[in-house]
């Protein structure tokens, strides 16, 4: 009885060893070689997995960087030291990449703007913006103030101040989630070196802007006329600043009668 059991056991054991050897050989033969730099880049990244680079996570981003499909400095969360480390791992020279952060193009605080009615609906900017007037503030372009951008920010970089979103530049990683969350398209990603910014997004004509908000751009073109470097243009009744041309002379700030251009 015992002998009759030994043979099957030995046979199964031999088969197991044989299949194990085959699997081991196959694993080595057909193994996909992973560039060791991928793990090194992952270790150098902050590990936020925010998707701000355009990829679903840090691991995928690291693979794309090593393969040359993504720029080594495309991670918005990585600081100067992390970016330099990644460049070093890839044997690249560090370029001067300006740090970016988001800012809100609206000065429509409770002190500056009128309200058409009391809103008691869902605490969602998207929901409020779908009303006939686009929200309860008198300016159609104003920040609705229901904190949709604040709630979606994974870095606690946004707070509400007098019914307008305010972004902490030191905490902001320019991941862009707040940009897509704002139904008014009021949030813009800009280089940190761009200190002079237009805090308004209204396309209305000056007279209507004055009626609705004390801090709105009235499109008077004084900023455009006094800028010696062609850094300011007025289109669709709103001033725009070319950050590459701006020299921080601050003439536009001084000349703006509505104080809609500020140093941030």
Higher-confidence residue: 259 or 77?
259
Q: What is the pLDDT of residue 226?
A: 96
* pLDDT tens digits, 235-254: 999 999 999 999 999 999 99
Residue 69 — very low, low, confident or very high, per pLDDT cuts 50/70/90?
Answer: confident
Residue 144 — very low, low, confident or very high, per pLDDT cuts 50/70/90?
Answer: very high
Higher-confidence residue: 82 or 188?
188
With 0-12 / 13-18 / 19 or more C-beta atoms within 10 angstroms meaning exposed / middle / buried, residue 208 is middle
Higher-confidence residue: 2 or 152?
152
Higher-confidence residue: 172 or 32?
172
For the cut 50, the answer to whether the pLDDT of residue 5 exceeds it is yes
Q: What is the mean pLDDT of the chain?
A: 86
Instruction: State which H helix or E strand residue 158 sits in.
Output: strand 158-161
Share of the chain above pLDDT 90, in %: 53
Q: In terms of C-beta distances under 8 Å and separation of at least 24 residues, what long-range contacts does 234-237 make, across chains too?
A: 236/203, 237/202, 237/203, 237/204, 237/205, 237/206, 237/209
Share of the chain above pLDDT 70, in %: 86
The C-alpha atoms of residue 203 and residue 92 are separated, in whole angstroms, by: 44
Residue 2 — very low, low, confident or very high, per pLDDT cuts 50/70/90?
Answer: very low
The C-alpha atoms of residue 116 and residue 216 are separated, in whole angstroms, by: 17
Q: What is the mean pLDDT of residues 158-170?
A: 94
For the cut 90, the answer to whether the pLDDT of residue 204 exceeds it is yes
* pLDDT tens digits, 102-129: 999 999 999 999 888 888 889 999 999 9
For the cut 70, the answer to whether the pLDDT of residue 24 exceeds it is no
Residue 26 — very low, low, confident or very high, per pLDDT cuts 50/70/90?
Answer: low
Higher-confidence residue: 129 or 76?
129
Q: How many Cβ atoms from other residues are within 10 Å of residue 209's Cβ?
A: 24
Lowest mean pLDDT among 67-71, 140-144, 147-151, 241-245: 67-71
For the cut 50, the answer to whether the pLDDT of residue 13 exceeds it is yes
Q: What is the pLDDT of residue 18?
A: 59
């Amino acid at each position: 009885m015992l002998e009759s059991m030994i043979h099957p056991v030995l046979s199964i054991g031999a088969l197991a060893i044989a299949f194990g050897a085959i699997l081991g050989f196959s694993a080595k033969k057909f193994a996909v070689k992973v560039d060791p730099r991928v793990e090194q880049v992952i270790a150098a990244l902050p590990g936020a997995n925010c998707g701000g680079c355009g990829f679903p996570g840090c691991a995928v981003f690291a693979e794309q960087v090593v393969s040359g499909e993504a720029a080594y400095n495309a991670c918005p969360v990585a600081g100067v030291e992390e970016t330099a480390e990644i460049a070093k791992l890839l044997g690249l020279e560090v370029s001067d990449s300006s740090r970016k952060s988001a800012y809100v193009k609206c000065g429509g605080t409770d002190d500056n703007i009128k309200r058409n009615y009391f809103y008691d609906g869902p605490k969602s900017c998207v929901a409020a913006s779908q009303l006939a007037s686009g929200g309860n503030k008198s300016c159609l372009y104003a920040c609705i103030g229901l904190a949709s951008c604040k709630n979606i920010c994974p870095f606690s970089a946004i707070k509400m101040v007098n019914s307008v979103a305010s972004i902490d530049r030191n905490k902001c990683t320019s991941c862009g989630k707040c940009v897509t969350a704002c139904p008014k398209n009021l949030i813009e990603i800009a280089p940190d070196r761009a200190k002079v910014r237009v805090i308004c997004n209204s396309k209305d004509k000056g007279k209507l802007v004055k009626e609705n908000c004390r801090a709105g751009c009235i499109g008077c073109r004084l900023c455009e006329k006094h800028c010696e470097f062609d850094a300011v243009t007025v289109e669709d009744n709103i001033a725009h600043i070319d950050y590459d041309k701006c020299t921080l002379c601050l003439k536009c700030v001084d000349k703006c009668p509505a104080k809609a251009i500020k140093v941030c």
